[in-house]
Copies of this chain bind each other. A is one copy, B any other.
Amino acid sequence: MTQKQRTAILGASGYTGAELIGFLLSHPQIEIVALSADKQAGKAFTELYPHFSAYDLPVMQKIDAIDFAAVDVVFCCLPHATTQAVVKTLPESCVIIDLSADFRLRDADTYAQWYGHAHQALPQQAKAVYGLTEHNRAAVKKTNLIANPGCYPTSVLLPLLPLLKAGVIDVSAGIIADAKSGVSGAGRSLKENLLYCEVNESFSAYGVGHHRHMPEMMQEMELAASGVSKHFRFTPHLVPMNRGMLSTIYVTLNKDTSLERAREILEKYYMNEPFVQMLPVGVTPTTAHVRGTNQCFMNIFQDRIAHGMIIVSVIDNVVKGASGQALQNFNARFGYAETLGLHHRGGVV
**A-to-B contact residues, CB < 8 Å:** 15, 22, 25-26, 50-51, 53-54, 173-174, 176, 178, 180, 182-184, 188, 190-192, 194-206, 208-210, 214, 230-233, 235, 237, 239-244, 246, 248, 250, 274-275, 277, 279, 283-293, 295, 297, 301-306, 308, 310, 312, 343-347, 349
What chain B residues lie within 8 Å of A230 (beta carbons)? 305-306
Are B305 and A203 in contact, CB atoms less than 8 angstroms apart?
no
Do A200 and B305 contact each other (CB < 8 Å), given the known contacts A176-B176, A292-B347? Answer: no
How many of these chains are in the complex?
Answer: 4
Residue of B176, B210, B246, B283 touching A304 (CB-CB under 8 A): B210
Are A279 and B50 in contact, CB atoms less than 8 angstroms apart?
yes
Do A51 and B289 contact each other (CB < 8 Å), given the known contacts A304-B214, A308-B233, A344-B343? Answer: yes
Most B-side CB within 10 Å, residue of A208, A244, A288, A301? A288
Q: How far is the CA of A242 from the CA of B297 in the complex (A)?
A: 22
What chain B residues lie within 8 Å of A205 (beta carbons)? 246, 248, 284, 312
Q: From residue A263, how far is it (CB to closest CB) to chain B in Å?
A: 14
Residue of B50, B190, B214 touching A297 (CB-CB under 8 A): B50
Q: How far is the CA of A239 from the CA of B181 in the complex (A)?
A: 11
